[in-house]
Amino acid sequence: MGASNYVKVVREFAPAMKKRDFIIQIIACGRGVIAMQAWNAQVLAECADCFDYLSIHYYEKPDRYAEGPGDSALFWHQIGKLIAASNNLRIKLFVSEWNAQSIDWRTGLYCAGILNEFEKASDLVAMATPALWLRHVSATDWNNAFINFNHCTWFPAPNYVVMKLWRDHFAPNLLTLEGNPGPLNITATKGAELILKAVNPSTNAVPVVLSVKSGYKFSQAEFLLINPGSLQALNSLNEPHRVHPAPAALTIQGQSVRFTMPPFSTGVVTIK
């Protein structure tokens, strides 16, 4: 329909909805392709006062499991600048479809990286949901689903395995990390426990020393690692748990925790 016609529809539709129910939240359609950033710019410039969320899609080629998450974050922050220049600074992003297009371990690495980027950009990205969510194994297209099934059973793709591990270790407060992470994509959060989520998409093992400033006494720590050993590793109906998290070694030395991220691995460290 073109951005100009879409703006006209939003300016007609959204106020009528708000008049009917002023609490309702309006989601406008954006574009998740860099070449179509002009659409986002025009919509935000001409009708930002009419909606609350801008919905974008962001898919990635599976071979871009390492650089893809960072590139997507750069794209979001470009939109953030457009929001800052609009007349509605309260607009947030809804990444309403995201994924890498495979079900091998590359999509697990990509998933871990982009989940970390969502968390780092939580002041801008308010909601996100992946696609494809469900897929029958007989389907002939879109082989990137989190849940794959037949008439008897199902198996989780690596992106499901990673998302569940991340969700099981959610903590609400994002912490500041200092130091050089090297090739790692890392976030740290705090609730009742300290949580570190790390992704190593590189070909080299990376030793990590996590030091916490004085005033926080360690009592116990655990490390859950997903390290299937190959980018082509995947789960299947016959082997549904080929890619899975398992306990891994770490050591506590005073105010520091030491562990190693193997090549092509993701992991969560919990410090009590």
The reply to whether 75 and 123 lie within a common domain is yes
Taking the CB of residue 152, how many other CB atoms lie within 10 A of it?
6
- Helix, strand and coil content of the chain, in percent to the nearest 5, comes to 30, 30, 40
Same domain, 129 and 212: no
Q: Would you state the pLDDT for residue 34?
A: 72
Residue 198: strand, helix, or coil:
strand
- What is the residue-averaged pLDDT of the chain? 94
214 pLDDT above the threshold of 80: no
Q: Are both 211 and 160 inside the same structural domain? A: no
Confidence of residue 1 (pLDDT cuts 50, 70, 90): confident
Name the residue type at position 244: H
Confidence of residue 215 (pLDDT cuts 50, 70, 90): confident
For residues 152 and 181, membership in a common domain is answered with no
Say whether pLDDT at 223 is over 90: yes
Structural domains counted in the chain = 2
Q: What is the 3-state secondary structure (H, E, C) of 60-103?
A: ECHHHCCCHHHHHHHHHHHHHHHHHCCCCCCCEEEEEEEEECCC
Residues 142 and 265 grouped into a single domain: no
Same domain, 67 and 149: yes
Do residues 222 and 147 share a domain?
Answer: no
pLDDT recorded at residue 204: 96
* 60 plus 159 within the same structural domain: yes
The least confident of 27-31, 37-41, 253-257 is: 253-257
**Residue 208 — very low, low, confident or very high, per pLDDT cuts 50/70/90?**
very high
Of the candidates 168, 199, 224, which is a domain's last residue? 168
Reported as a single tens digit per residue, the pLDDT across 141-198 is 899 999 999 999 999 999 999 999 999 999 999 999 999 999 999 999 999 999 999 9
User: What is the pLDDT confidence band of residue 247, given thresholds at 50, 70 and 90?
Assistant: very high
Q: Which of 113, 139, 168 is the endpoint of a domain?
A: 168
The answer to whether residues 69 and 158 belong to one domain is: yes
pLDDT at 216 over 80: no
Write the pLDDT tens digit of every residue in 98-130: 999 999 999 999 999 999 999 999 999 999 999
Calpha distance 126→104 (Å, rounded): 28
Mean pLDDT of 64-91: 95
pLDDT at 32: 82
Q: Are residues 36 and 94 in the same domain?
A: yes
Give residue 81's Cα distance to chain centre: 20
Out of 105, 137, 168, pick the residue that ends a domain: 168
What CATH code is carried by the domain that includes residue 74?
3.20.20.80
pLDDT for 213 equals: 80
CATH of residue 209: 2.60.40.1180
Mark whether 152 and 71 lie in a shared domain.
Answer: yes
- Provide the residue range defining the domain that includes 90: 3-168
**Shared-domain flag, residues 162 and 189:** no
| pLDDT tops 80 at residue 233 | yes
Question: Exposed, middle or buried: residue 258 (CB in 10 Å: 0-12, 13-18, 19+)?
Answer: middle
What is the arithmetic mean of pLDDT over 129-141? Answer: 94
Which are the contacts of 259, defined by CB distance < 8 A and separation ≥ 6? Answer: 207, 208, 210, 223, 248, 249, 250, 251, 267, 269
